[in-house]
Every structure is written in C-alpha cells, then in structure tokens.
Amino acid sequence: MLIAQITDIHLGFEPDSPAEFNRQRLDRTLERLVALDPLPDLLLATGDLVDRGDVDSYRRLQEAFAGLPFPVEMCLGNHDDRANFAAVFPVRQYVGGYLQYTLAAGPLRLIVLDTLEPGRHGGAFCEARAQWLRAALGADTTTPTLIVQHHPPIEVGIAWMNTDPSEPWVHRLAECLTGRDNVIGLVCGHIHRATSCHWQGLTVATCPSTAPQVTLDLRPIDPARPDNRAMIIAEPPAYALHFWNGREIVTHWDTAQDYPVLARFDANLAPMVGEMLAERPI
C-alpha cells in the first residue's frame, strides 16, 4: 500500500491568477506523482488547500486534481473555509459541521480529522470532535489505522510555527489515542517542512509543502524585535510517500525536481545488487 501526501498548497495566494507561482509548484508535484512507478494508491491533501478560503481557488484546486489516476482525499487547515470548500467539493462527510470521516484504504483504515478553528492559526480539537473520534476508534480496534490531520500536536522547534504541548486540544487528542494499539501513526501538514517525532507512542510525520517552505531556524523569536531573519524560502515543492509494508508505515520525503544521476542499474552494478538480495532469507 502506497499513500502519497501533499500539503499546504495555498492556491490563491496570488488572487485571480490561474498561472500563479503556487499553482505551478502544485502542478510540478502532481506531474512527479503521476510519473511514479508504482503509482500511489491514494493521494492525501492535508489542509491549507487554498490561501484565502475562497470559492474560486477551490475551483482551481478541483481543476488541478481532475484526471489524476488515483483518488484524492482532503482535510482542512487554518487557511481553509468549510462552507466554501463544501460548495466545490460537496461529496464529503461532515459530522456536526466538521470534516471528519473514516476511509478504507486497502489493508488500512484512515481517520481524517478536522483541526480548523476559524480565526486561529494553530490547531483545535473540541470535545464534539473528540467524541466522534472515540466512537470511530472504538468501532474497529483491529484494522491498522492511520490518523490524518492538518495541525501536528508536537512542538517542532520553529518558534513561530510551534504547537504548545500544553494546549488543551493536544491533551484531548492524546487522550483519544492513548491505548489504541491499532493506530500506526499520524500524518500532518502545516509546518511547511518534513519532520518526524515520537509522540504518545506514535510516530507523527509532517509533510513539506507544495507552496514555498518555512525556513529551518530554531532560534527563539520575539515579535517585538524583528531581526530580518528569513522566514519563507523557495525550496522546491515537495511531497511524502507513506509505504505500508504489512507491519509498519514507512515515510519517505522527496522534492519535485530533477537531480544529476551519479549511478544507474547497469551491468556493472548488477553483481552488487545480486549479492545484496542474496543476503536476505528466502
């Protein structure tokens, strides 16, 4: 099972520009995913799908996803708007007004959560959402289950993007997931960088963005003392591939750009490959 992930697309950052920079970066990433062999079984788009929550940008997103050879499943981030998203993507599962749903994905089950709180940059997960999650987890305690959401519940070290581990929504989510032995991990976006962390017995992996990335800067930041540090940089658009090998979920990250090839699988390398494969038990 191979699940691709993109995140933080931010279409509409340049309003009314179908050829905007973020659309070009999205298209490059989708072209890379479509060229993969094997193809992903599923694509997750994990929030901040558009930049201003407007209908026109969601329509451009729909256009970008049209014709892909694999299904696309989405969750919402802090830049999204539930009503405008639903106007363009109406066939989605809302529970109490929140975009939360379960999805059978081959041998896995995905649980997609809604961490959007209008007017707030960081995440949220209220008791109504938590009650739904407890019921969904309780309905199937054996199928390997991957949690999908926009905001990571971890402190990543980039001061202006951090989640405070004492935030109530983090404790509420942790309580829901504690002791759920069939939950195999949690995948998120929001940070605009690849990170991985062991949290509450789970691996939390964040996907880098298709939009420009956040600068890796682990210094403290003081909003009263602007220091001219770089905050957003035009690193290549990127994506994640989550590979389920039947035992563990393994995450790979890559960028949608070409690199110089330093070695190819030719007659010179065939003996080494044969030796490496022969070392494995039959």
Task: Please write the tens of the pLDDT for every residue from 223-247.
Answer: 999 999 999 999 999 999 999 999 9
What percentage of the chain reaches a pLDDT higher than 90?
94
Residue 91 has pLDDT above 80, yes or no: no
What percentage of the chain reaches a pLDDT higher than 70?
99
Interval 119-126 mean pLDDT: 96
Residue 116 has pLDDT above 90, yes or no: yes
Interval 1-21 mean pLDDT: 94
Q: Are 112 and 149 in contact (CB under 8 A)?
A: yes
| Confidence class for position 93, pLDDT limits 50, 70, 90 | confident
State the average pLDDT for the chain: 96
Is the pTM higher than 0.85? The answer reads: yes
**Stretch among 12-21, 48-57, 260-269 having the lowest mean pLDDT:** 12-21
Residue 268 has pLDDT above 90, yes or no: yes
Interval 116-143 mean pLDDT: 97
| Confidence class for position 64, pLDDT limits 50, 70, 90 | very high
Per-residue confidence (pLDDT) for residue 25, from 0 to 100: 98
CATH class of 2-278: alpha beta
**Stretch among 7-11, 96-100, 172-176 having the lowest mean pLDDT:** 96-100
Q: Are 142 and 182 in contact (CB under 8 A)?
A: yes
